[in-house]
Amino acid sequence: MKKSPIKTILAISVFAASIFLSSCSSSIKSESNPTKISADKKEVSFIPATDEDIFLYRQIGISYLCMARQIEVEFPKAISLAAKNYALLISSRHGGLIKELGKDKIPDKNIYNGAILQLLDGAMKNCPDMVPEEDQKKFLKTVEQLNQNK
């Protein structure tokens, strides 16, 4: 196929602009005050994750899990990475705070375990063929036990 000169010029322009912008950003970063930045980070107050945030992170995790399984990633690895990503989003963006659960920070392990359950539930609805039958049975048994403890 013959490349058009406009596409070549556009590609060169984008490449040159990216080099220019990266050199500008590195000079800006070197002139900033690192002490002030770290002091600002200590003052960060987290906004608890809302139901909408939780829904988004859940959907991201379910999508990741289903796509990973489609390319034949082993189920334990796929769900573990999806749940770790979910937990990381809650921890880093919201400080482990979830609006519905009040002002107490949720430990990362609890967020991770909750993510596993939410992602399994979603995957069983969205891509049931990608969830091993044994894991589906374990999930249903766990949900039954949780419902009995209420």
The answer to whether the pTM exceeds 0.85 is no
pLDDT tens for the chain, 150 residues: list them. Answer: 444 444 444 444 444 344 344 444 333 343 433 333 445 555 568 999 999 999 999 999 999 999 999 999 999 999 999 999 999 999 999 999 999 888 889 999 999 999 999 999 999 999 999 999 999 999 999 888 888 887
Distant-in-sequence, close-in-space partners of 121: CB < 8 Å, separation ≥ 6: 139, 143
